[in-house]
Amino acid sequence: MNSLRIYNTLARDKQAFVPLRAGEVRMYVCGMTVYDYCHVGHARVLVVFDVVQRWLRTLGYRVTYVRNITDIDDKIIRRAVENGEPIKALTQRFIDALHEDSDALGVARPDLEPRATDFVPQMLGMIQTLEQNGYAYQAKDGDVNYAVRKFAGYGKLSGKSIEDLRAGERVAANDAKQDPLDFVLWKRAKEGEPPDTGWDSAWGRGRPGWHIECSAMGCTLLGDRFDIHGGGQDLQFPHHENEIAQSEAATGVQFVNYWMHNGFVQIDSEKMSKSLGNFFTIREVLEKFDAEVVRFFIARAHYRSPLNYSDVHIDDARGALTRLYTALKDVTPDAGPLDWNEAHAQRFRAAMNDDFNTPVAIAVLFELASEVNRSQDAVLARQLKELAAVLGLLQREPRAFLQDTPRSSRDSGGKEGTESLTPADIETKIAARVAAKQAKNYAEADRIRAELLEAGIALEDKPGGLTEWRRS
């Protein structure tokens, strides 16, 4: 188990992974703010850390995976007011949608999924400790803020110095703060806000700041110090930087040993974001593309690299996944367990132990697929299927995947006619082709084959006169 190396953002280097407790991993990942449907950027976080927890379990670790839900936030309040609905009704609707989307992508539910609103007492306790330790103060506007300059290690995760931040005016000025860099721990309730958006506290009625939520939930559920904290690259600063400052000032110990950040999803080389208006929701994408194809598209890129999203790239991923399923179509995998001593499995393990290098691991799957195609070996087919299972792939019956209508065909990007041909239609045309061949009308047989191919249906003539088909 000790051969795993993880790129630790805090160290800016790959480091050997050594858990705080032997054989056990405690991991926290920042989840979603539930005021809208999840987009493809969220899908990447979901899939990336699902693969991480799968590999940790494969290595034999006992994993406690926590992924929180932010269910109180300025954006949530604003959306609820716009909709004229209670906060809980809004957040529950989008929590349900989050679960639907993540389930479709084959993402296992986390072991614990805390909601911020259930941990307000713990947040208040941490804020009180910070105030007692001299790191927090109540400003004249009623907010309780964190005094950034009091924490000597501020900037160690992001590599930003106090002077750089001040010079760049990274934080909006607020006359009530002692320093523009200070961030809010407790927001004083404002006049006219819905009554279900505040809690009573020693500093007046209000609600927690975003950063204190994850510190309190992480420390409560995993301890003052735990192994891995993950999230998107955009959270490295200020969110994760602020989490470190709060947590370590409150507990006096190092907050997290390994920080992991996945790269951005890009559209035309520009970061996908709601603020830029260039984002796609997961459910919009799943209306056009098979969910396993989307998962494969995400998994075949290294988690730290940018991921360029386009329909062309998803279609390419579908073609690649089709090649893997095709290798299993005619070979029933052996029923034995995965053999980790086999050469392909050893290369797969080495890749995953090298900072979860899924591109190399998936390249091993293609090597195996080529071997299976050549040898028709049931043992190698088992290796292919079982190694792919570690990534949450290739677990469907091959023909079910190969004959499934590609959702992209319902869009202008798909091959015209594919969506109108049902399996029964295809079998009817195959029967007509067989009849034409029997009548020695080979021109008609070729015409039918070409017609089906134009519609995205590839035929494969098997021994004994059997013809199989798949979506191309």
CA distances from 97 to 88, 100, 263 (A): 14, 5, 24
Output the tens digit of pLDDT for each of the chain's 472 residues: 459 999 999 999 999 999 999 999 999 999 999 999 999 999 999 999 999 999 999 999 999 999 999 999 999 999 999 999 999 999 999 999 999 999 999 999 999 999 999 999 999 999 999 999 999 999 999 999 999 999 999 999 999 988 878 765 544 556 789 999 999 999 999 888 898 899 999 999 999 999 999 999 999 999 999 999 999 999 999 999 999 999 999 999 999 999 999 999 998 777 777 667 778 999 999 999 999 999 999 999 999 999 999 999 999 999 999 999 999 999 999 999 999 999 999 999 999 999 999 999 999 999 999 999 999 999 999 999 999 999 999 999 999 999 886 554 444 444 444 456 778 788 788 777 877 777 888 788 789 888 888 887 888 887 777 787 887 6
For the chain, the C-alpha Rg in angstroms (whole number) is 26
Angle subtended at Cα 63 by Cα 57 and Cα 67, rounded to the nearest 5 degrees: 115
Confirm whether 18-266 and 310-401 share one CATH topology: no
Superfamily of domain 18-266: HUPs (3.40.50.620)
Residues in binding site for Zn(2+): 30, 214, 239, 243
**Which residue reads 């994993």 in tokens?**
63
Domain assignments of the chain as residue spans, ordered by start: 18-266, 310-401, 415-471
Q: Are 240 and 271 in contact (CB under 8 A)?
A: no
**Alpha carbons 189 and 212: distance in angstroms, whole number:** 17
Binding residues for ATP: 274
Q: Which helix (H) or strand (E) holds 204?
A: none
The CATH code belonging to domain 310-401 is 1.20.120.640
What contacts 441, CB < 8 A, 6 or more positions away?
Answer: none
Please give the annotated binding residues, written as ranges.
30, 214, 239, 243, 274
The model's pTM: 0.88
